[in-house]
Copies of this chain bind each other. A is one copy, B any other.
Amino acid sequence: MDRELLKGSTPILLLSLLTEGPMYGYQIIETVLQRTGGSYTLKEGALYPALHKLEAAEFISSYWQTQANGRDRRYYSILPAGTAFLAAKKKEWSLFVNMVEAFVTPNGSSGTKG
């Protein structure tokens, strides 16, 4: 997967994931890895800064939770502002996709065969 293509899509991914419920960092990485069948390993160096930025913007909030075994995990959950931001991002996303596809397939031919 082209890393340059990924740039900018991380917030959408994160916010989308969090609409399914609170998650912690390590879990997010594992989830992305599993759902993409191993083709996309979200890196810690990309995840944590992105999470912190989202939290600083008050799109998500975090809380520490201690498990039965004593380990602490930092859970992130989406805030109303994050949901609104995600909705805006989704629109931007489809605009972006439509734009690129318009150039890639100017005549409208469905050339996306895998």
B-binding residues in A (CB < 8 A): 1-9, 12-13, 16-17, 20, 32, 35-36, 39-40, 89-97, 99-100, 102-104, 106, 111-112, 114
Identical chains in the assembly: 2
A13 to chain B, nearest CB (A): 5
9 A-B residue pairs with CB within 8 Å? A6-B8, A7-B7, A9-B100, A16-B103, A35-B103, A39-B99, A93-B100, A95-B114, A97-B97
Pick the contact of A2: B2, B6, B92 (CB < 8 A). B92
Looking at chain A's contact residues, the main secondary structure is helix
A9, A39, A93: which has the most chain B beta carbons within 10 Å?
A: A9
Is B104's CB under 8 angstroms from A20's CB?
no
How far is B12's CA from A112's CA once the two chains are assembled, in angstroms?
14
Pick the contact of A35: B6, B13, B36, B102 (CB < 8 A). B102
A85 to chain B, nearest CB (A): 12
